[in-house]
Every structure is written in structure tokens, then in C-alpha cells.
Amino acid sequence: MPITAIHARYIYDSRGNPTVEVDLTTEKGMFRAAVPSGASTGVHEALELRDKDKEVHHGKGVLKAVKNVNEQIAPALLSKLTKFGANAILGVSLAVCKAGAAHKNMPLYKYIAELAGTKEVILPVPAMNVINGGSHAGNKLAMQAEIKKRYGLDATAVGDEGGFAPNIQDNKEGLDLLKSAIGAAGYAGKVFIAMDCAASEYYKDSAKKYDLDFKNPNSDQSKWKTGDEMLKLYKSFVEDYPIVSIEDWFEQDDWDNWTKGLSAVNIQIVGDDLTVTNPKRIEMAVRKKGCNCLLLKVNQIGTVTESIEAANLARKNGWGVMVSHRSGETEDTFIADLVVGLAAGQIKTGAPCRSERLAKYNQILRIEEELGKSAVYAGIKFRNPQAA
């Protein structure tokens, strides 16, 4: 597959921050890929390259990464992430994968399945953000009606990932709201709850405790919780609500509590900041029995090949795999093809609100239409969709 040209530029992601887009040209045409970016990032994930010029885009510019693609990666197709930035490498990697599919005259998801050794492609269960923080907006979903009733019209603002942002005072209140809305919509027993705790964001390393009031600069230190107290809280949530999955419930290096927690509950425990799609971190989590599901983010590791290897490593050890977006997304739909091609069974790509989130769901609908009667949906087998 001879590549005739590679060109990068900067565009804007869903939060209005610069990101990298790459055009790769072969005899089959031009293939374009755009790179997402996270707001809550693990300290162990591959590093983006930002310009750090405070006078331009508040230091978040990506002109250095763009220059690396155009002047160094393009001529040599090198892959030294620390030098060029994971955002530069990933843009090229995604575009190369799309071009490879075209050269084999295959849909992208089938090409990914071939690369991964997947025997049967599977449509994923969506893990949709319903409640998150962010800026003001609204729509007419049933959930909005429930939020309006309790919190008023302004509470139907949506966050970075399309979820609602009511003025909820504690976590239990949010779970009560979700449980009530699921019941009111007639989906009790059919729709379940997953939590992304992002515990590294509110872990106080100096005290080795968790501050659930971390947004308050004057939070009461006497109310900070130990790992044991957090686990007791999580177990009460699992007992009282239809929770099937919890992500990043402890700080990314708080291994003792990850291990203790996994043996204490019988649900999916997802590692994001814990594993950062990195084989070394995955292997460590396997050894320490820290979690049982990998959150797969292509920009955490930097290339499609390494992402596939991470997914296969996780499954080899009996884990589930959930393919994920980032909070700073683009209209690129690559992860929709990725989740189907890997037969991962789960995708986390935001609420059915905001076009950069819906683009992925719409691509899955197109894939389902193309598969026709041969389409297989993961359903209740989402944790191990390839099981007999």
C-alpha cells in the first residue's frame, strides 16, 4: 500500500480546543482521521504534545504536533511517542488503518476484525452518559422531564459528553434520579446503571483519603473518606441500585483498594486511569487482581496496533473490554468501527446528544444495516460477548 502523501492540520474538538487532523493519500484516495482529547487523564497514559504558548489557545495549541507529522513522521513514518506526541502519531495511525481497509476493499470494521483476529463481529451495548457536569443546554428526552420536575428547567444543561448537569448535591441523589427515571420510562430491569467515579480527581495523596466535596476549596477534612469507607459506600450503591459497572472507583495507584474492592463485589470493575490502555499497566492489574474490564482509549496508547494488542491482552486474561471516546471529541467515527471489529461488546461514547457523540452511534446503525440478518448484538453478554 504505497502512501503518496501525509498532511496534518489543526482543527477544533467538541470543547473548542485545538486537536490534530491527518490526511493520508494513497492510490485509493484520501483518508482522514482526527484525534480526540481527554479532560480527566491518567498520569500513566501517553502524552499529548501541546504548544504551551499561553498567548495562543491558552497553551493548548497543537502546532508542534502538526509540524512533527508534516516534517518528521510523514517522511519517515516514525513512532517515538515521547518525541512526536501521541496526538501526532495517532492521527497518522488512524488514517493508515482507514487506507488499509480501502486497499483490501473491506469495510473498516471488518478490516479491524481481521487485524485483531476476531472471528465474529458483534454490535456493542452502549454505555451512555446521562448525568455529568458542564455548560447549559437542553432537549426533550424523558430524562429531561424527570430532571425538570425535580430541579427546574436550567438543570437540563448538558456537559462535555452530552449528559445532563442538574444541581445534584451528592452521589446518592444522582442514583435516585436515574433509578426513578428508568422506572418512569418503563425500562426497569432493562436499563442498568454504570458509574465513572474518576477517583484520582478527588484523591488527597497527602492524607491518603478521598474528598467527595473536592470542588469546595473549604471542604471539611473530617469528612474525607478512607479506602475502606469508600468501598463500603460503593457496596451500598450496588445493593440499592441496578449498578452493573463501576469505573475508576479508586485512585490510579491505590492498588490495595482496587484489589480489595474487586473481591468484594460481583459486577464489572473498569480500569481507565488505572490501566491507560497500556500493556504493562494491564499486566500489573491482572497480577494484582485490580479490575476485570479494560477501558480502551486509542489516544492513551497512541496507535491502532497497540490498541488492538491491549484489547487482546485484556481478553486473554478473562477481562471485558469497553471501547471509549474522550471528552474532547471530533466527528471522526473510527471507534464505532473499532468496537464492532474487536467484538468488544461495549462502547462508551456519550449521551445521544451533541453531534460528535451521535456520529459514533449513527455509524453503528449503518454497520448494523450492512450486516443485515447476520448482525449479532452483545446484549446481556456485554462483558464476554464472544462466549458460547
Residue with cell 464492532: 340
Q: Do 127 and 315 touch, CB atoms closer than 8 A?
A: no
List residues with catalytic annotation.
161, 297
Question: What residues are paired with 193 via a beta bridge?
Answer: 243
Q: Do 130 and 355 touch, CB atoms closer than 8 A?
A: no
Pairing of strands 209-210, 203-204: antiparallel
Residue numbers in the known binding site for Mg(2+) are 196, 247, 272
Q: What is the C-alpha separation between 91 and 330, in angstroms, rounded?
A: 12
How many residues in total does the chain contain?
388
- How is residue 54 written as a grid cell? 499561553
> Smallest Cα–Cα separation from 356: which of 105, 161, 82, 117?
161
- How is residue 339 written as a grid cell? 468496537
| Maximum CA extent, the chain | 65
Q: What is the C-alpha separation between 231 and 253, in angstroms, rounded?
A: 16
Q: What is the C-alpha separation between 166 and 309, in angstroms, rounded?
A: 39
Q: Residue 185 carries which side chain, given as an amino acid letter? A: A
Residue numbers in the known binding site are 196, 247, 272
Q: Give the relative orientation of helices 142-151 and 171-184 as an angle to the nearest 10 degrees.
A: 130
Burial class (CB in 10 A: 0-12, 13-18, 19+), 180: middle
The DSSP line for 34-79 is: E--B-SS--TTSPPP-----TTSGGGT--HHHHHHIIIIIHHH---
Residue with cell 473498516: 108
Pairing of strands 293-296, 268-271: parallel
Phi, psi at 258, each rounded to 5°: -60, -45
Q: Do 325 and 335 touch, CB atoms closer than 8 A?
A: yes
